[in-house]
Amino acid sequence: MAKKKIRTSQEVNAGSMADIAFLLLIFFLVTTTIASDKGILNILPPKQDPNQPPPEVELNERNIFNILINANDQLLIEGEFRTTTEGLTEEIKTFILNFGNPDEDNLALFNSLPASLRAMAERSPESSDYPGSGGAVVSIKTNRGTSYEIYLEVLDLVKRAYFEIYGERVGLTADEYRALTGQTAAEKELIDRGKENIPMAISIAEPDKTGS
């Protein structure tokens, strides 16, 4: 009978495996930048034809929510001097949802709003006519010396007012509404229903050149 072979251990020593993996892990930890393609979306107006002056849009003063920011980052909101942006979102929401002088379409819009938004809707004749197109517009005007940070902060708050309204119309929070991607039909329907007849009318004026 043949002699039994003396077998050496077949196992690979895996003790240092963790060390190797650690090394790789640390390499990827250092080189990684988790992609952040997030931000505030803004659609710029189409370019101006130099031969054609921009069309005169007649808007009533009461339909415009004026936000001016000067080079010292001070705010002038609807003619009122401010140093902070506190409470701006709520003001804009009441402004947008004001039905001062609604036409037939916007009366229908008013009736379609959920009760919570209808409770917010006022009928003050001094504020905007209606939320629909041709009605309420939020205008942001900056100076060339205004800091980018405060501009984004204000734009952020204005967007928030709109998203809160959109979200509330479809029974979501603003965060949930923004997270909708529109890739499925159901999500697309929610998005459309949220912003139906309430366009996001944010006008960003060319900054002033003076005083910078």
Nearer to another protein, 24 or 119 (CB): 24
Interacting positions 32-91 with another protein (CB under 8 A) = 32-48
35, two tokens: 């992609």
CB of residue 188 to another protein, shortest distance in Å:
12
Nearer to another protein, 37 or 126 (CB): 37
* Interacting residues of 70 by C-beta distance below 8 A, sequence separation 6+: 76, 143, 145, 146, 211
Site for another protein in 98-157 (CB under 8 A): 142-149, 151-153, 155-156
**What is the SS3 assignment for 10?**
coil
Nearer to another protein, 8 or 42 (CB): 42
Minimum CB separation from another protein for residue 202, in Å? 12
When the beta carbons of 31 and 83 are compared against another protein, the nearer one is 31
3-state secondary structure 45-98: CCCCCCCCCCCCCCCCHHHEEEEEECCCCCEEECCEEECCCCCHHHHHHHHHCC
Report the C-alpha dihedral over residues 170, 176, 177, 180, rounded to 10 degrees. -120
Measured CA to CA, the distance from residue 127 to residue 63 in angstroms comes to 7
Which DSSP helix (H) or strand (E) runs through 123?
none
**Interface with another protein includes 185 (CB under 8 A)?**
no
* Closest approach of another protein to the CB of residue 23, in Å: 10
Total number of residues that touch another protein (CB under 8 A): 51
Query: What is the distance between the alpha carbons of residues 99 and 128, in angstroms, rounded to a whole number?
Result: 7
Q: Identity (one letter) of the amino acid at 128? A: S
Nearer to another protein, 17 or 119 (CB): 17
Interface stretch with another protein, choices 14-22, 99-107, 128-136, 185-193 (CB under 8 A): 14-22
Give the residues lining the site for another protein (CB under 8 A).
Answer: 14, 17-18, 21-22, 24-25, 28-29, 31-48, 142-149, 151-153, 155-156, 159-160, 163, 174, 178-179, 181, 183, 206-207, 212
